[in-house]
Amino acid sequence: MSLETSTSKEAQPRHHREPPDSTPSGGLSVTSTKDEEDSPVGVEKEAETHDYVPAQASDADIEKRAVQDLPPSAPPPEKDPNLVEFDGPEDPGNPLNWPVRKRIAITLSMGMMTFVVTFVCQATLPASSSIFATALAPVSEEFDIGETVATLGVALFLLGFVLGPICFGPASEVFGRRVPLFSGYIVFAIFQIPVAVARNVETIMLGRFIGGFAASAPLAVVGGALADIWGPLERAYAICVFAANAFSGPVAGPIIGGFVTESYLGWRWTQWLTLIMAALFGGIGLFVIEETSAARILQIRAKKLRYETKNWALHAKADENRVTARTILTVYLVRPFVMLGREPILACITAYMSFLYGVLYLLFEAYPIEFHEIRGWSLGVSALPFCAFLVGIAGGTALMAYST
């Protein structure tokens, strides 16, 4: 090796030399000229003169090599240009983005509709166990029936109340919230008339069952509607309003119904009073409550755009799912019972709510006996102890709202 060659090689940096030929070996980089490769002495001298330095790769090189080692993946699916969706998270058409005043008005209106359907459970003679003692005498005398037959009104109304959500709940997922809510509510209001003008006990029983079935619509639909328009935090306050009305109705029914029954108006006016209240709050709801289901809103928007643009391929996500009788049976009707069996927390909440309603209706049965039959209080006054429930409901609602 000449002196010039040696001096030239030493002048170059150890890690940045650009020799004519370089060969990796065992993760180490050894650089030499062609003459040195052929000369064992040159290799030995190179090893003595220079240290072996591991080849170091940057993070970018490692990531690039890792990406190259991955198998080729399928390209992301293209977005359907004919799919109608909300225009981003701030779309004013999204129920979650509606003005707060509008959502509060909808919540209060739905709460009052719930109050009416639960109020009639206890305010009307044949459908009530708590006010049963207040109106049993005149009705039993008019229709010549015994106490056992008269209590069928309680059982039939509550039976309809139990069966109704099985239909109205799935319907609210398929057809939106507004149609099932008002269809059931209107039928409930209409069937107060046959009971009010009934000339036989069969008409009363049939009217009570159909009325109870239809009256379950608000209880089955309102919860989902509130979830449509409120976020997780605000939803707690909305549920407080809904629960307060759902429990206040059965408590207020005996108080008002007792005074109406013992007055010159008679027990039939409990039905007319219910009809008036249903018409009042239902009429307000028709103007205030809009469709809250996001899926249904997009379906309506897609239908409108199809007619405006003449592009018949425009559709919403819900339009892609064909709803058949089998789907309704296996998904919407059976799934709640499957969830009840598989979700322990749901089963516990259901058992707890059933216990609360059982205690509530037990007291509805016991109070008239204690205060009217034993103590001899008048029909209206004997129902006043139910005011304690209203105080408890108000306190519980305030506590829930405060803790939230």
- For position 206, which CATH number holds? 1.20.1250.20
Predicted pLDDT at 339: 87
Rounded-to-integer distance, Cα 208 and Cα 192, Å: 8
Residue that has been written with the tokens 């090189």 in this structure:
61
* Any domain includes 109: yes
Q: What is the 8-class DSSP label of residue 247?
A: H
Q: Which of 74-83, 110-119, 192-201, 231-240 has the lowest mean pLDDT?
A: 74-83
Q: What is the 8-class DSSP label of residue 387?
A: H
Identify whether residues 270 and 135 lie together within a single domain.
yes
Spatial contact of 190 and 163, defined as CB atoms under 8 Å apart: no
- The confidence band for 20, taking pLDDT boundaries of 50, 70 and 90, is very low
* Any domain includes 320: no
Rounded-to-integer distance, Cα 391 and Cα 78, Å: 58
Identify whether residues 281 and 397 lie together within a single domain.
yes
Predicted pLDDT at 334: 81
Query: What is the dihedral angle through the alpha carbons of 140, 143, 144, 149, rounded to the nearest 10 degrees?
Result: -70
Q: For the segment 288-317, what is each residue's pLDDT rounded down to a tens digit?
A: 999 999 999 999 999 999 998 888 888 888
The model carries a pTM of 0.74
For the chain, what is the domain count? 2
Whether 28 shows a pLDDT value over 50: the answer reads no
Whether 397 shows a pLDDT value over 60: the answer reads yes
Q: Comparing 28 with 146, which gets the higher pLDDT?
A: 146
Predicted pLDDT at 56: 54
Identify whether residues 392 and 246 lie together within a single domain.
yes
Identify whether residues 104 and 47 lie together within a single domain.
no
Rounded-to-integer distance, Cα 347 and Cα 61, Å: 55
* Any domain includes 308: no
Identify whether residues 208 and 356 lie together within a single domain.
yes
Identify whether residues 39 and 111 lie together within a single domain.
no
Single out the residue of 40, 367, 404, 41 nearest to residue 243, CA to CA: 404
* Any domain includes 328: no
Beta bridge pairs of residue 25:
28
Rounded-to-integer distance, Cα 262 and Cα 309, Å: 64
Task: Please report, as a single letter, which amino acid is at residue 63.
Answer: E
* Any domain includes 43: yes
* Any domain includes 329: no
Domain boundary residue, one of 51, 69, 88: 51
Predicted pLDDT at 229: 94
Please state the rounded mean pLDDT for residues 1-23: 43
Identify whether residues 37 and 168 lie together within a single domain.
no
Whether 281 shows a pLDDT value over 90: the answer reads yes
* Any domain includes 182: yes
Q: Comparing 126 with 326, which gets the higher pLDDT?
A: 326
Identify whether residues 202 and 260 lie together within a single domain.
yes
Task: Please report, as a single letter, which amino acid is at residue 315.
Answer: H
Cβ within 8 Å of residue 174, ≥6 positions away? 323, 328, 332
Residue span of the structural domain in which 206 resides: 99-292+334-403
Please state the rounded mean pLDDT for residues 43-68: 51
- The confidence band for 14, taking pLDDT boundaries of 50, 70 and 90, is very low
Identify whether residues 354 and 273 lie together within a single domain.
yes
